[in-house]
Structure 1
């Protein structure tokens, strides 16, 4: 596993810990705004991890496919992901 994937895994593990904390906050009937802030924080970590994974995909899988003359499918995949991501 390369360094960028390790960083993505660490971000995901941190987000998982935050989600566990959010669940506890809800179970403990904590203040809604505090819960919402923690949810936004977890979402930011997930976005950051997703960006790292997509960057790796573009730099390696898409680049290799283009060099092999088979890039259209990989490009379409990235466009589909970005379409969902940007909504």
Structure 2
């Protein structure tokens, strides 16, 4: 596993812990703003993990596809992902 994947796994595991904490906070009827801050922190980690995964994809899978004259398919995949991220 390369460095980007290790960082992504760490971010996802941390986000999972924050999501579990947010669920517990709701069940314990904790202050809504505190729960919201916990959710925002989890969202930031999910975004970070996604960017690390996409970075790894670009440097490895996309690069390799271009070396074998199959880059256009990978470009379409990236455009599709970016449209989901941006909501457009």
Q: TM-score range by the shorter chain?
A: over 0.9
Structure 1 unaligned runs (5+)?
A: none
Backbone CA RMSD of aligned residues: 0.6
Matching of residue 30 in structure 1 with residue 38 in structure 2: no
User: Runs in 1 of length 4+ with deviation above 3 angstroms?
Assistant: none
| TM-aligned CA deviation for residue 57 of structure 1 | 0.3
Instruction: Tell me, in whole angstroms, the C-alpha distance in 2 between the residues paired with 1:80 and 1:3.
Output: 25
| TM-aligned CA deviation for residue 62 of structure 1 | 0.5
Structure 2 unaligned runs (5+)?
A: none
Match of 1:51 in 2: 51
Give the TM-score taking structure 2 as reference length.
Answer: 0.96
